[in-house]
Structures are given as C-alpha cells and as structure tokens.
Amino acid sequence: MKKLAVSVALALSCSGLALAEQPKQIRIGVEAAYEPFAYKSPDGKLVGFDIDMANALCAQMKAKCVFVEQEWKGIIPALNAKKYDAIISSMSITDERKKAVDFTDKYYHTPARLIAKAGSISGTPASLKGKRLGVLKASTHEKYAQKYYAPAGAIVVPYDSTQQVYMDLAAGRLDATSADSVESSVGFLKKPEGKGYAFVGPVLKDPAIFGQGAGIAVRKGDDDLRNGFNGAIKAIRANGTYKKVNDKHFNFDAYGA
C-alpha cells in the first residue's frame, strides 16, 4: 500500500512538473515544397519564410510550433480532420477557402505572375491559346487559370507540387505556369533549370481569386487561436521581429501595401 501511494505521488509530481515546464504546443500544417517560403534544406530540415514566421509568432504567443507536413491539395481537409491546429503555408485568403476554414489577417502579400520561356508568349490570355499551362492543384493560380486562360483555349494541367510543375516546364512538357512571383523566382528562375525562362506579361490581378494575401488558416470557430495569431502578427510587425525574419529572406518588405 505504501509503495502504491509513493508511486502515485511520484507519478503525480512528474506529470505536474511536465505540465509546468512544457509551453503550449501549436501544431502547424505546412507543405514543404514551396521555396523560399517552406521547403527542406539539403539535410532534411524544414526551412523558409513561413517556418521562421511561424516560429516567431509562436514565440510571441509563448507557445511552441510543432510542424506537420502535408501535401498541398489535402492541407485544408487535414486541418479540419484535426491533424494540426493551423496552416502557415503561404495560403492566400480567399472567399472560397473561407467557407471551409477561418483566416487570420494576412502575414505577407506578394503578387502572382506568369512564367514562360523568355520571348515565347506575350502573356495575354489569347497568347496562351493551345499552350499547356501547369499549375499547382487547388491553388489560387489554378482558379485564375481556369477563369482566364482555359476559356481562351489554354490547356490547364494541375500538379501536386510546384516542383513538379517546374520540372515539366524545364523538360518542355509545359509552355507556361502561373505562380507566386517570389516563390517562382527563387524556386525556379534563379536555379540552373530556370535558365532562359522569365516572367511574361504584367502582374496578375483579381482580388476575388488571389484574395488579400497569405493568412493563417484555423478551423472554423477556433477564435482563441485566430485572435492569438492576429495579436501576434501585430506585435511582431511593431517590435521589429517581422522585419528581422523578412530581411533574412527578402530584400523587400513581403508584407506588401
């Protein structure tokens, strides 16, 4: 009996200690194929702007980020299936996604562009007639392509990751892709495979599709977490942490106007 009491007391004190010392954990869903925002370093670590931003926000909220990797097209269903608590993965805030999840305020905003072999097309929807345009499945770029390029005669081909799009673009299976200007610049154009390719046409604009920038998605009704993130975004914008993370990756302010 004594032994039991001692062990119970021990167990209780241990769990008490564990609870006291462990900061709150927030599980973050991320698609790690989106350089420079979220990708894997050669030694397999998750790195990028989204990762650093998530860590800065969690630190501001006195919590610890635990990252969970997820393929892009399943990233919202997995959030709603409680595989993680929030998505910090360059997700544009759009009305369509708001039907499935709640968003915080934006934490960055960079424009979308069209990428093709330099000089091959002018970038107007008509210039894409009969051309194969690769896009990320379930992305705002796919929506944009379906709305503007498909009716003009472009063949829109959806892929599971932008890396696959760039591989097929370099291989010549695709004629163009529409993607985030910063991601495609770092993830493709500045790489050896991207030689000879360039942005074509103007910045793509359609607020109804591209939304107001990238936000953090949480499950519907999870207002505590959403407000926590919103407060943290404001706080790190004000105290210089945002600028520090931003300047580590970019030579411009990714927060946008």
**76 near another protein, judged by CB under 8 A:** yes
Q: Which stretch binds another protein (CB under 8 A): 13-21, 52-60, 164-172, 245-253?
A: 164-172
**171 near another protein, judged by CB under 8 A:** yes
Indicate which single residue of 24, 45, 62, 173 sits in contact with another protein (rule: CB under 8 A).
173
Nearest CA among 218, 211, 212, 177 for reference residue 197: 177
HSE at residue 34, side-chain half, CA atoms within 13 A, is 24
Nearest CA among 48, 56, 51, 8 for reference residue 28: 51
Q: Which stretch binds another protein (CB under 8 A): 15-23, 49-57, 75-83, 204-212?
A: 75-83
CB of 59 or CB of 157, closer to another protein: 157
Q: What angle do CA 66, 71, 75 make, to 5 degrees?
A: 70
Q: What angle do CA 172, 176, 177 make, to 5 degrees?
A: 120
**196 near another protein, judged by CB under 8 A:** no
Return phi, psi of residue 198, to 5°.
-155, 165
Indicate which single residue of 69, 85, 105, 160 sits in contact with another protein (rule: CB under 8 A).
160
Interface of this chain with another protein, residues 45 to 64, rule: CB under 8 A: none
Least distance from C-beta 164 to another protein, angstroms? Answer: 7
Distance CA 4, CA 253 (A): 61
**27 near another protein, judged by CB under 8 A:** no
Distance CA 19, CA 11 (A): 12
Q: Which stretch binds another protein (CB under 8 A): 1-9, 50-58, 123-131, 152-160?
A: 152-160
- The binding site for another protein (CB under 8 A) comprises 73-74, 76-77, 80, 100, 137-138, 157-160, 164, 167-168, 171-173
